[in-house]
């Protein structure tokens, strides 16, 4: 007899002895350690009985053999599935590598064509002959076919990169055409005026082209690493099919699938909780910082204003202390709902802690536009609200800062919006816009 001690079992386990044609109930074991693995010799001999450790029941060996045959069939099916999966993975990898190489080659060709345009420009500047001027004109726009191909076939990310590069490329083409036209008029001053911008624009184009080539090479390397890991996992799984007990493998797969689904659900839920305020459902400080960083990165290229609103509720502590934390929590939820009604879908509302909120507004038209939104927010917050039969009123102090007027860094803008908010609180101004002389003005 073999005994495997799994630790104390809080519930009482009943042993059911099953034999061909009849069963008998054994005694209950109240505090015994169960999970034992043993064989019992009944009247039919040792081959008639098998104890299943996890259930505590006896099953005929015929059932185990039948289970092994089923497991074998499942194992063969799994092996076939692994083979098919490996074939599909290989095909997918080949197609992905081919597509990635095409895109990389196109970006490399863009670099070559832009370099040829630069060579034609320097050749014309060196000789000044009509033949070289014509060659310069012929070279202008030579990278456009590759950029068009990347926009059409490279996917959304490549189209975005092309759009970034194309703006510089258009300026570069305009500079080259201006030099060409000035050469036709023999206007040396005009030629000299456009040489420096052309050189600057060429340097930017060269950096972007090289960066895109390197980016695609990194993407391909990472993709191949993922595929290599996937192939290794397939190989390990195939070895497991041959090495493991096939009946138990089927059970393990079912358990693993269920576990994986639970982990995925838990991960998704945890990610949402990690990025959102648990009480109000709006973004928390971490998510607000990430979205602010992204908005400023985009705005730095486009030079479009980004508005920041910081607000602190006035009178909230008194309500929380007199009416209770439950009413305070309901009030915070209601404030979050009112904030959502005052802003666009593209804006981000965050609770930074306590009764302090912040709003990120990408692509605002001006400082006045941001101040107008702050005014709407203040008006909405001041409206009375009915909470469990009690009418509650609360105010707010709001500070406004706008990129690039009031700064170009996250910490700087948030600090200045915060400074304006505290000025509004001290002066009971409602809404204040940050001023460069560090004296926020009432909106």
330 and 389 assigned to the same domain: yes
Q: Does residue 258 sit within a domain?
A: no
417 and 296 assigned to the same domain: yes
Amino acid 54: pLDDT: 43
Q: Where are the beta strands (DSSP E) in 155-202?
A: none
Amino acid 356: pLDDT: 94
Token pair for residue 249? Answer: 């493998």
Amino acid 14: pLDDT: 38
Q: Does residue 4 sit within a domain?
A: no
340 and 412 assigned to the same domain: yes
Largest pairwise CA distance in the chain: 117
352 and 426 assigned to the same domain: yes
- The rounded Cα 337 to chain-centroid distance in angstroms is 25
Q: Does residue 263 sit within a domain?
A: no
Cα(439)–Cα(427) distance, integer angstroms: 12
23 and 91 assigned to the same domain: no
pLDDT digits (tens, 9 = 90+) for 212-222: 999 888 988 98
94 and 19 assigned to the same domain: no
Cα(64)–Cα(437) distance, integer angstroms: 84
Q: Does residue 91 sit within a domain?
A: yes
Beta carbons of 49 and 42 less than 8 angstroms apart = yes
> Residue 57: is it exposed, middle or buried by C-beta count within 10 angstroms (0-12/13-18/19+)?
middle
Domain count, the chain: 3
pLDDT digits (tens, 9 = 90+) for 123-167: 988 898 989 889 988 988 888 898 999 989 988 989 999 998 888
Boundaries of domain holding 43: 13-59
112 and 225 assigned to the same domain: yes
Beta carbons of 380 and 393 less than 8 angstroms apart = no
Q: Does residue 367 sit within a domain?
A: yes
Q: Does residue 434 sit within a domain?
A: yes
Counting as low any pLDDT under 70, the low residues of the chain are 1-69, 71, 245-256, 258-259, 436-443
Q: Does residue 118 sit within a domain?
A: yes
321: domain CATH number is 3.30.70.270
Q: Is the pTM of this model over 0.85?
A: no
Q: Can you say whether the dihedral through the CA atoms of 407, 409, 411, 414 is positive or negative?
A: positive
Amino acid 68: pLDDT: 65
Beta carbons of 362 and 344 less than 8 angstroms apart = no
Q: Does residue 70 sit within a domain?
A: no
From 204, 230, 256, the end of a domain falls on 230
Token pair for residue 141? Answer: 């726009």
Token pair for residue 392? Answer: 């509650």
197: domain CATH number is 1.20.1440.210
Beta carbons of 364 and 402 less than 8 angstroms apart = yes
291 and 433 assigned to the same domain: yes
298 and 438 assigned to the same domain: yes
49 and 150 assigned to the same domain: no
Amino acid 390: pLDDT: 87
Amino acid 80: pLDDT: 74
From 230, 253, 277, the end of a domain falls on 230
145 and 223 assigned to the same domain: yes
Question: Per DSSP, what are the bridge partners of residue 28?
Answer: 14
215 and 296 assigned to the same domain: no
Amino acid 26: pLDDT: 41
Beta carbons of 79 and 85 less than 8 angstroms apart = no
């Amino acid at each position: 007899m073999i005994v495997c001690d799994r630790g104390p079992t809080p519930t009482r386990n009943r042993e059911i002895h099953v034999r061909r044609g009849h069963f008998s109930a054994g005694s209950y074991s109240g505090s015994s350690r169960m999970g034992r693995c043993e064989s019992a010799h009944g009247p039919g001999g040792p081959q008639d009985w098998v104890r299943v450790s996890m259930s505590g029941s006896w099953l005929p060996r015929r059932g185990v053999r039948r289970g092994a045959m089923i497991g074998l069939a499942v194992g063969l099916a799994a092996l076939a599935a692994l083979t098919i999966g490996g074939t599909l993975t290989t095909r997918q990898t080949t197609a992905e590598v081919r597509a990635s190489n095409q895109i990389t080659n196109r970006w490399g060709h863009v670099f070559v064509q832009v370099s040829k345009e630069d060579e034609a420009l320097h050749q014309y500047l060196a000789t000044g002959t009509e033949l070289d001027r014509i060659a310069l004109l012929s070279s202008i726009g030579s990278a456009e076919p590759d950029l068009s191909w990347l926009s059409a076939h490279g996917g959304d990310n490549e189209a975005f990169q092309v759009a970034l590069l194309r703006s510089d490329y258009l300026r570069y083409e305009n500079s080259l055409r201006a030099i060409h036209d000035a050469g036709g008029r023999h206007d040396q001053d005009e030629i000299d005026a456009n040489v420096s911008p052309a050189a600057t624009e060429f340097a930017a184009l060269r950096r972007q082209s090289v960066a895109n080539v390197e980016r695609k090479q990194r993407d391909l390397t990472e993709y191949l690493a993922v595929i290599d890991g996937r192939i290794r996992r397939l190989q390990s799984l195939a070895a497991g099919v041959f090495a493991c007990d096939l009946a138990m493998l089927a059970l393990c797969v079912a358990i693993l699938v269920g576990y994986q689904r639970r982990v995925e659900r838990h991960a998704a839920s945890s990610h949402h909780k990690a990025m959102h305020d648990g009480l109000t459902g709006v973004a928390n400080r971490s998510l607000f910082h990430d979205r602010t960083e992204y908005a400023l990165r985009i705005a730095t290229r486009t030079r479009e204003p980004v508005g920041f609103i910081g607000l602190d509720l006035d009178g909230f502590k008194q309500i929380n202390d007199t009416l209770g934390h439950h009413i305070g929590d309901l009030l915070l939820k209601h404030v979050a709902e009112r904030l959502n009604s005052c802003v666009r879908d593209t804006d981000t509302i965050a609770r930074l802690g306590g009764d302090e909120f912040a709003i990120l507004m990408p692509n605002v038209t001006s400082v006045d536009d941001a101040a107008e939104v702050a005014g709407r927010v203040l008006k909405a917050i001041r409206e009375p609200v009915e909470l469990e039969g009690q009418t509650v009123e609360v105010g707010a102090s709001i500070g406004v800062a706008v990129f690039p007027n009031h700064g170009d860094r996250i910490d700087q803008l948030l600090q200045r919006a915060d400074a304006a908010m505290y000025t509004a609180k001290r002066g009971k101004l409602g809404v204040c816009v940050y001023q460069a002389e560090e004296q926020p003005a009432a909106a």
